[in-house]
A and B are shown apart, each in its own frame.
Chain A
Amino acid sequence: ELKVEQNPLFLSMQEGKNYTIYCNYSTTSDRLYWYRQDPGKSLESLFVLLSNGAVKQEGRLMASLDTKARLSTLHITAAVHDLSATYFCFPQTSGSRLTFGEGTQLTVNP
């Protein structure tokens, strides 16, 4: 059974700082999604990483995938308040089950 661990689960950071969120997963996966959930809202897809070594960037967020280490990272550069949200990773595996990480609740303080 796939296990997905994110850390940290809670992250409070100041504007302008950098930080990385980690997503470890337990079984083979060659595709991974990152989702964002704003408070009280639904989940929206941020990135899909399609292969080992894939890197995607949008604005202050950059995601990467290492399928050999079964690790994805979401790096935040010069955080701003608008990035405050919960971030979920979702490694794609065979079958229909969607197993998400526990989520990282990010709060960016002025």
Chain B
Amino acid sequence: DTAVSQTPKYLVTQMGNDKSIKCEQNLGHDTMYWYKQDSKKFLKIMFSYNNKELIINETVPNRFSPKSPDKAHLNLHINSLELGDSAVYFCASREGGNTEAFFGQGTRLTVV
């Protein structure tokens, strides 16, 4: 069973479109994250939710909007996609503040 699953794995879309990436974890964790990984492999935190509540909101454009319908899901919606949004987006989850994080397989977003 996949612990943290993201869909889709690949997403190619045109500039200006709106798209969503979904994430689900079946580990019973309270905290979920979205990270953006650029071409240099740097992992930048975007958002974090704890029990459906937003706790970290980094300085990302407000075109990015996370939504957590329940603690097992954290989705990422992106409006008006730009070329610079092309990256790999990772979802992660963990239980509490002192445990390892588990990552999804990543969503490679390409904006053309």
Contacts and interface: CB of A to CB of B under 8 A. Distances in A.
Interface of A: 31, 33, 37, 41-45, 48, 86, 88, 90, 92, 94-100, 102-103, 105
Interface in B35-55: 40-43, 45, 48, 50, 55
A48 to B, nearest CB: 6
A95 B97 contact: yes
B41 A94 contact: no
Given A92-B98, A96-B97, A102-B42, A42 B56 contact: no
A92 B41 CA distance: 20
Given A37-B41, A96-B31, A97-B45, 4 more contacts: A33-B101, A88-B43, A98-B101, A103-B43
A96 B103 contact: no
The CB with the most chain B CB atoms within 10 A, among A37, A41, A44, A86, is that of: A37
Interface of B: 31, 33, 40-43, 45, 48, 50, 55-56, 90, 92, 94, 97-98, 100-106
B97 A43 contact: no
Contacts of A86: 41
Nearest to B94: A98
Contact of A97 (B43, B56, B100): B56
Contacts of A94: 97
